[in-house]
Amino acid sequence: MFFRVKKSGERAYVQIVENKRVDGAIRQSVIATLGRADELAASGALASLIASGAKLTDQVLLINGLDVDADGPLMVAAKRIGGPMLFGKIWERLGVAEVLGDLLKERAFEFAVERAVFVAALHRLFVSGSDRDCASWMTDYDIPGADGLDLHHFYRAMAWLGEEMEDKPAEAPEWRNLLRDLDRLSQVRIRRRGADWLARSDAAPAATMLFKRAQFALPPRARQARPPPPAQPKPAQKRRGRPRCGATPT
């Protein structure tokens, strides 16, 4: 669900809208019309509604709690995590990394070929496309060990693999829906004053079922990746000026 501003003549109205799949197409369904946008903004009703709903969401509470402290910059970075987590676990259980590692023993590549192959396979699974598209696509995903991979690395990895992938057959609608729900699972990294927090989005029931079938637990909704550094005690300041009355002379 999301907010939408619907214009009617010279006026604009705020609505709560939900996307629904009808006969294979996505259609928007209006759940409620909250009122005129200018009146809601002037009265503060919309801000109150958003603040009230934020209390039910761990991620928003975490950001609000960090935002209370105005000292220091707030750094937020969001990455998709559903596909890399689930298929990374399957990749590990199948032993693909070990097989590729054995094949690469006599080769002296200066980059992580196995990681490049994994990223390329993940890219073809979700969206397909060329290696050039893969290099830009991966920047939206949190893929362990993929830092530093560039376009020429994917070219070299695919050339080493020695085979071109055949066109992917059309998936069943249920599989496409599962991939869509899995791809919506994301994670936000928040840094401020030495504290490092990770907050993930809600997982759709189908995505949760996939993780359970793979016997792989989802991370907590909000967790601290790195605790803040301990506060350093301030050095005592020496008193200046005339001594206080009754002070013992030294």
Of all residues in the chain, the percent with pLDDT exceeding 90 is 3
- The pairing of strands 2-8 and 11-22 is antiparallel
In DSSP terms, 223 is beta-bridged to: 198
**92-142 pLDDT per residue, tens:** 888 888 888 888 888 888 899 899 999 988 998 888 777 678 888 888 898
pLDDT of residue 164 exceeding 50, the answer is: no
Range 125-133, long-range pairs (CB < 8 A, 24+ positions): 125/83, 125/87, 125/179, 126/83, 126/179, 126/183, 128/168, 131/155, 131/158
Max avg pLDDT among 53-67, 135-149, 233-247: 135-149
Q: In this structure, what are the phi and psi dihedrals at residue 214, rounded to the nearest 5 degrees? A: -80, 0
Residue 25: which pLDDT band, with cuts at 50, 70 and 90?
confident
Give DSSP secondary structure letters for 182-247.
HHT-EEEEEEETTEEEEEEPPPPHHHHHHHHHTT-PPPPSEEEEEPPPPPPPPPPPPP-SSPPTTP
SS3 state of residue 88: helix
| Least confident segment among 44-58, 73-87, 196-210, 230-244 | 230-244
pLDDT mean over 140-157: 88
- The least confident of 9-23, 27-41, 160-174 is 160-174
Element (H, E) at 168: none
Tokens of 50: 């958003």
Contacts (Cβ under 8 Å, ≥6 apart) of 206: 177, 178, 181, 182
Q: 68-72, 125-129, 148-152, 223-227 — which one is most confidently predicted on average? A: 148-152
| Helix ranges, 69-203 (H) | 82-94, 96-103, 113-126, 131-137, 151-161, 173-183
> Which amino acid is located at 178 in the chain?
L
pLDDT top residue among 156 and 70:
156
Question: For residues 176 and 193, what is the distance between their CA atoms, to the nearest angstrom?
Answer: 41
pTM: 0.47
Parallel, antiparallel or unpaired: strands 25-36 and 186-192: unpaired
pLDDT band at 174 (very low <50, low <70, confident <90, very high): low
Q: Which amino acid is at 47?
A: A
